[in-house]
Amino acid sequence: MSNAIIPLLLDSLASAALIFFAAVGLTLVFSVLRVLNVAHGSLYSIGGYVAASICLFIASRQLNPYLSFLALLFSAVCVAAIFGPLIERGLVRWTYGKSEAVQILITFGLFLILEDLQRVVFGVQSFYEDAPMRLLGTTSVGGVVYLNYQILLIAMALLVVVGLRLLINHTRLGRLITAVVTDREMAQSIGIDTNRIFIVAFSLGVFLAALGGALATPTSGIAPGLGADTMVLAFAVAAIGGLGQIEGAALASLIVGLARVLAIYLVPSLDAVAPYAAMLIVLLIRPYGLFGSVTARRI
């Protein structure tokens, strides 16, 4: 029995980790900027494309294959450094203080542009480069074979949860972010340049999404449409966890990951529905999500 349960658990944890990267950035950006960025999923897939391209380049030049791990991180940093400030300064900031409908329409427009941009730049064929996964190999315990890469994914997600919490609670930047989230006007009055915090928080969100996309590429490849799928899942996770909640997003990712993998093992036809069924149940019981509260929304 345990032979079946442990890989199942590992699968769902790894899948939860990938969803978490996308969702935690979405929720972070929402809590600081109070904008729900519909284009967030596209940044996940752009991270994936960039990572896959660099990994393929490394393979084609027969460079040290271990460089591809560095490439995963590097591509996320690049995507964040380029797209973060560009999108926040160029587009999102014009929606501050506007109604949610305007914000969603504008970021949805951005989503359409980014999706087509990816088709133009990377084509419509799917990319697959699993060098990082192959390099880490497998571990066999008691006759069950594990992918070490899955364990890396889970560890990375845990690192992000702990890292973000430390950042928010114990650094200067974290304090300033907390002040901006709690009360934007007061933050300005005590000398915080809120525009800078917005750029930093948005870019951090982009980094996390792009990192998720980059880390996902070796396991599942990347193809057009990934951005939209990711966005919808990330939104479900953020809603289950409570918008703006880091630990909430982590727990919700687990729920969604588990729901998905359970569905794949037990009722494969319900695979796509399972995350939303979980969302429906949670929101019926707790309308503001697991960790959310009426005041935490602060819209």
Partner 1 sequence: MLRLDKVSVSIEGVRVLRGVSCEIIARKTTVLIGRNGAGKTTTLRAIMGLIAMDQGSVRLDADDLGSRPAYTRARAGIGYAPEDRRLIPELSVEENIRLPALALKLDRAEVARRLDEIYQLLPELHVMRSRPAGGVSGGQGKMVALGRALTVARKVLLLDEPFQGLAPALALDYARTLGELRKHRPELAMLITESSPALLDRIADRTLQIERGEILDTSTKDREFHVAAI
Chain contacts with partner 1 (rule: CB under 8 A): 172, 175-176, 178-179, 182-183, 185-195
Residue nearer to partner 1 on the CB measure, 92 or 133: 92
Extract the tokens encoding 274. Answer: 């399972």
List, in sequence order, the alpha helices (H) in the chain: 2-33, 40-60, 67-90, 100-122, 131-136, 148-170, 172-182, 184-189, 194-220, 226-241, 246-266, 274-285, 294-297
Output phi, psi for 144, to 5 deg. Answer: -100, 135
Minimum Å distance from CB 127 to partner 1? 43
The closest of 139, 141, 137 to 3, measured between CA atoms, is 141
Residue nearer to partner 1 on the CB measure, 192 or 200: 192
Residue nearer to partner 1 on the CB measure, 153 or 187: 187
Burial class (CB in 10 A: 0-12, 13-18, 19+), 74: middle
Minimum Å distance from CB 58 to partner 1? 41
Minimum Å distance from CB 186 to partner 1? 4
Minimum Å distance from CB 191 to partner 1? 3
Extract the tokens encoding 193. Answer: 């340049």
Residue 22 to residue 232: CA distance in whole angstroms = 10
Residue nearer to partner 1 on the CB measure, 180 or 279: 180
Extract the tokens encoding 232. Answer: 């919808």
Minimum Å distance from CB 298 to partner 1? 12
